[in-house]
Amino acid sequence: MGLTRSYVMLNTFLFGIFGQFEGDAAAMSRTGPLLAYRNGLFDAVAADNPLEAVLTVGSAAKDAISRWPGRGELPTVHVFHPAFPDVAQLLADWNEALVDLAGDVGADDGAVPGPPYGTDFAPGDVVAIPRHDLPFGLPPWHGDGDHAVRAGATVIEWRSTPVE
């Protein structure tokens, strides 16, 4: 889409939780204290940033944004989480969503939208996340390259580069 700096990413919870949208965790995400805190955070972000659209990644995000009264009429598009097991279906889903958002979200100055994804990840599809966009405390290798590998239907293995 040509977004290199004008985006905001938020999580349903303050930190990632494996299987976060199943059972008790899903119910907890909808309770008063968590819901109020998250909606207040969304409101604060919207007050200080000119939002053009919302892209939800995974079912927890889709549910969280549907419960945010401040969303108003912002265009909202949902995509599968990058850990979705069927890569061809994942990329087709993302291609469709990016086309849907193209009319609502402009590229950053000097940035050029990339071509659509193919049926598998190609070299260049996985790029480093700018360090200032990552939360405090992550190891230096996190966000740089493809360190997560699906190992079966329910397991994701994280691999790091050695840190000296």
The per-residue pLDDT string of the chain (164 residues; one tens digit each, 9 = 90 and over) reads 888 778 888 888 776 666 667 778 888 889 889 999 999 999 999 999 999 999 999 888 999 999 999 999 999 999 998 878 888 999 999 999 999 998 899 888 988 888 899 999 887 787 778 888 887 787 777 777 666 666 777 777 766 666 56
Q: Which domain holds residue 82?
A: 1-107
Q: Rounded to 5 degrees, what are φ and ψ at 45?
A: -65, -45
Residue 150 bridge partners (DSSP): 156
| Terminal C-alpha separation, the chain | 36
115 in any annotated domain: no
52 in any annotated domain: yes
119 in any annotated domain: no
71 in any annotated domain: yes
124 in any annotated domain: no
Q: Quick one: tokens of 29?
A: 């995400």
18 in any annotated domain: yes
Domain count along the chain: 1
128 in any annotated domain: no
